[in-house]
């Protein structure tokens, strides 16, 4: 081996390794700066979201709240607004229209559940982004969720209501209902979330879903 050539190559290798180490250190510094900048962006976005929500004066802007890509403040604001009227946050977003999932959950012994949920759904549905065919979907939280998924679907233009059962994302059953109240009554009787005996102001749990 040419000793002079080998010595030069070793010197170049040492220099290259030093430069690599310097660049990696610079990258780490830049990554830390980028993390700080991103955190600043998130904090500003959260403050802006809070200001926007407060500007509504207590009247929810459902279209804004239901958007998939907004802040955590908006997420929690939506959760609060839904809970205030008796609805619930679903899990994740709908894959086809990228909107947050709204859910219903009716307990079997709650005598006022149908009327409350019907009123709440009619308040929110006009602001939801329709799926194919002009239907808006409400996920149903029920005691058999580990076996199948159910959605209550409302056609915004015609007012038609359907209950749809899916197993592994394939439709298994479709039930047409005369009214929204009829659909909710079916849900309460068959797709209840928890089984309660309604005792006026005192509601006692007698059976929980396994």
Residues 6+ apart with CB under 8 A from 175: 162, 163, 164, 183, 186
Helix H or strand E segment including 77 = helix 72-84
Q: Are residues 185 and 132 in the same domain?
A: yes
Q: Are residues 120 and 184 in the same domain?
A: yes
Q: Give the domain extent around 13.
A: 1-55
Q: Are residues 181 and 87 in the same domain?
A: yes
Residue 163, class by beta-carbon neighbours within 10 Å (0-12 exposed, 13-18 middle, 19+ buried)?
A: buried
Domain final position from 16, 37, 55: 55
Q: Which residue has the higher pLDDT, 196 or 36?
A: 36
Residue 192 to residue 107: CA distance in whole angstroms: 5
User: What is the average pLDDT value for the chain, to the nearest integer?
Assistant: 91
Q: Are residues 16 and 78 in the same domain?
A: no
Domain final position from 14, 35, 55: 55
Indicate whether 207 pLDDT > 80: no
Of 75, 120, 105, nearest to 187 (Cα)? 105
Q: Are residues 43 and 75 in the same domain?
A: no
Please report, rounded to a whole number, the percentage of residues in the chain having pLDDT higher than 70: 93
Q: Give this prediction's pTM.
A: 0.80
Q: Are residues 4 and 102 in the same domain?
A: no
CB 150 within 8 A of CB 179: no
Report pLDDT for 208: 42
How many distinct structural domains can be found in the chain?
2
Q: Are residues 15 and 100 in the same domain?
A: no
Q: Are residues 30 and 13 in the same domain?
A: yes
pLDDT band for 10, please (50, 70, 90 cuts): very high
Domain final position from 11, 29, 55: 55
CB 117 within 8 A of CB 193: no
Q: Are residues 15 and 94 in the same domain?
A: no
Q: Are residues 120 and 169 in the same domain?
A: yes
CB neighbours of residue 119 within 10 Å:
12
Angle at 131 between CA 93 and CA 171, to 5 degrees: 85
Q: Are residues 30 and 83 in the same domain?
A: no
């Amino acid at each position: 081996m040419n000793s002079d050539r080998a010595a030069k190559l070793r010197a170049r290798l040492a220099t290259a390794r030093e430069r690599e180490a310097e660049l990696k250190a610079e990258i780490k510094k830049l990554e830390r700066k980028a993390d700080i900048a991103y955190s600043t962006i998130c904090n500003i976005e959260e403050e802006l979201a809070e200001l926007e929500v407060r500007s509504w004066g207590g009247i929810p802007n459902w279209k804004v709240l239901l958007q998939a890509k907004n802040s955590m403040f908006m997420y929690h604001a939506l959760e609060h607004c839904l809970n205030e009227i008796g609805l619930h946050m679903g899990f994740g977003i709908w894959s086809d229209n990228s909107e947050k999932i709204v859910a219903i959950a009716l307990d079997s012994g709650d005598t006022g559940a149908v009327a409350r949920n019907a009123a709440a759904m009619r308040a929110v549905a006009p602001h939801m982004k329709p799926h194919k065919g002009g239907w808006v979907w409400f996920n149903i939280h029920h005691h058999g969720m580990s076996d199948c998924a159910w959605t209550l679907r409302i056609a915004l233009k015609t007012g038609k209501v359907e209950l749809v059962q899916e197993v592994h994302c394939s439709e298994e059953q479709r039930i047409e209902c005369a009214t929204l109240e009829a659909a909710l009554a079916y849900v309460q009787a068959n797709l209840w979330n928890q089984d309660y005996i309604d005792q006026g102001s005192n509601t006692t749990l007698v059976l929980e879903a396994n």
